[in-house]
Amino acid sequence: MSLLKALINDAVINKYITKNVFDEIQLSKELNKTAVKSEYEVNPFTDAEKNIIIDTAEGQVKNLIQFNFWTGLRTSEIIALKWEDVNFDDEIILIKRAKVEGEIKTTKTKAGIRKILLLPKALEALINQRQFTGNDEFIFNNPNTNKPWHSSNKLADAWKKVIDKTAVDYRNPYQMRHTYASTLLSNGENIFWLATQLGHENTEMIFKHYGKWIPQDAKNGYKFVGKY
């Protein structure tokens, strides 16, 4: 293939043909790589952007977004949460299932089954959500159907509608998880503890995705260092 490309390139130089089609193929590949990378790169929201998004959202969607920003759960985990998973006295919530295309599944790994400590804003979102679904099984409903969210894709649609009402640059819903992680790391929370909160088996993904947010003097311990 490289020999053929070189021959065609010589033909272009000698003006036998006008362009090398291999250049277009390579450009197309690079553009596709860039598109995939941009979708998954860590690009957390600032505190100001986060507040704008939460303040713009309404009702159940507002509660869900606020909860997501302050727990860092995967959207598939959030839409599978039940009230029975919440311990308001200890301010924790048990994560043990996910919902994918309408089907409830147990989390993929042992590390995925975990207890999340609820920050004040996450707890506030749950308390506010009680008025909507306090008597239901699942915590978060799709306000358009008043039934549990069918999939993360439906939630992504609701998320985009909120972002479109703001001047905040659009990022996919997964950036709420990245925002949670980068915020806590910037405040010096324990890296090993955060890995358990995010459902990772070790700290490899923490260093890979969030290394630049880890302070050099990262604190140890399981009590929150920052004020949220």
Q: Model's pTM, two decimal places?
A: 0.77
What pLDDT score does 182 carry? 93
Tokens of 9: 């390139």
* pLDDT one-digit tens code per residue, 116-136: 999 999 999 999 999 999 999
- pLDDT of 24 above 60: no
| Amino acid present at 46 | T
Is 90 exceeded by the pLDDT of residue 146? Answer: yes
Q: pLDDT tens digit string along 152-210?
A: 999 999 999 999 999 999 999 999 999 999 999 988 888 999 999 999 888 888 888 88
Residue 109 clears pLDDT 90, i.e. is over it: no
CATH class of 50-213: mainly alpha
- Domain locations in the chain as residue ranges: 2-40, 50-213
Above pLDDT 70, what percent of the chain? 77
Position 224 scores a pLDDT of 62
Alpha helices in the chain (DSSP H): 2-13, 21-40, 47-56, 59-69, 75-78, 120-133, 152-164, 174-186, 191-198, 204-210
